[in-house]
Amino acid sequence: MPVFARLAFNQSRQDVAPSGGGNRFRMLARGIGMARESRLLWCLLGCLLVVLGCRSTAKRSPDIASELATSDLSPSDGSAAPWDTLTFFHKPEFQQGTGPIDAGDVPEFTATDSGLRYRILRSSGGKKPTAENTVAVNYRGWLNSGKVFDSSYERGEPTTFPLRNVIAGWTEGLQLVGEGGMIELWIPSKLGYGKGGSPGSIPPHSHLHFVVELIHIQ
């Protein structure tokens, strides 16, 4: 028998039920209705609790994105610029054999238009070289990793060279210090050895750190 037919048959039986059973039938129907209402109320209450719980614990996608961005912008070693990560003052071996520096606060790095960063560690009123000069210097160079790749101090004697025959960062940087002075340089890769590096000592795309004492100008 189809479902709708069974429902009609049951309804016809209820219509002809003896009057003596009418009260019991109404009480049963009322009980069933109350039970259904009770179950409905419990279902609604459960749904409400679930919704409230989700709203209190879930994070909006902008909040999550904000946290990820903050994490990305907060490295463990702080926000030091690349020229400040491993300077002349970070390791004693960078200072070994060098002359005195000026007293007082450590100066900040200054940027040039080319991207070179420098600071004068020992001021001098002496003559400054030009790109056409040959200079005698003591120097030490290291990578961002802290590895020293070249040093005249270790060789025990100054190095002499024409400023036209060295990397662009040196040609520019040495013109910023007077004879007898000391300068620290941070040379970006484009002013150093670039994408080719220097086989055996300087990897490609390396930024370079130097401390240089200008001894005299020839």
SS3 letters across 118-154: EEEEECCCCCCCCCCCEEEEEEEEEECCCCEEEEHHH
Instruction: Name residues whose C-beta falls within 8 Å of residue 125's C-beta, 6 or more positions apart in sequence.
Output: 178
- Write down the catalytic residue from 102, 109, 120, 149: 149
Please report which confidence band the pLDDT of residue 85 belongs to, taking 50, 70 and 90 as the band edges. Answer: confident
pLDDT of residue 84: 77
pLDDT of residue 15: 42
Q: Is the pTM value of this prediction over 0.85?
A: no
Which of 180 and 59 is assigned the larger pLDDT? Answer: 180
Two tokens, residue 170: 């040196």
118 a catalytic residue: no
pLDDT of residue 146: 93
193 a catalytic residue: yes
Query: In the predicted model, what is the mean pLDDT of residues 159-186?
Result: 97
167 a catalytic residue: yes
- Write down the catalytic residue from 84, 102, 109, 167: 167
187 a catalytic residue: no
Instruction: Name residues whose C-beta falls within 8 Å of residue 91's C-beta, 6 or more positions apart in sequence.
Output: 146
Distance CA 47, CA 41 (A): 10
Q: Show me where the domains of the chain are located.
A: 3-58, 82-217
The dotted CATH code for 82-217 is 3.10.50.40
Distance CA 127, CA 216 (A): 9
Instruction: Give the HSE-up count for residue 156: Cα atoms under 13 Å, Cβ half-sphere.
Output: 0
Please report which confidence band the pLDDT of residue 75 belongs to, taking 50, 70 and 90 as the band edges. Answer: very low
For the residues of 15-53, what is the DSSP string, one character each?
A: HT--GGGHHHHHHHHHHHHHHHHHHHHHHHHHHHHHHHH
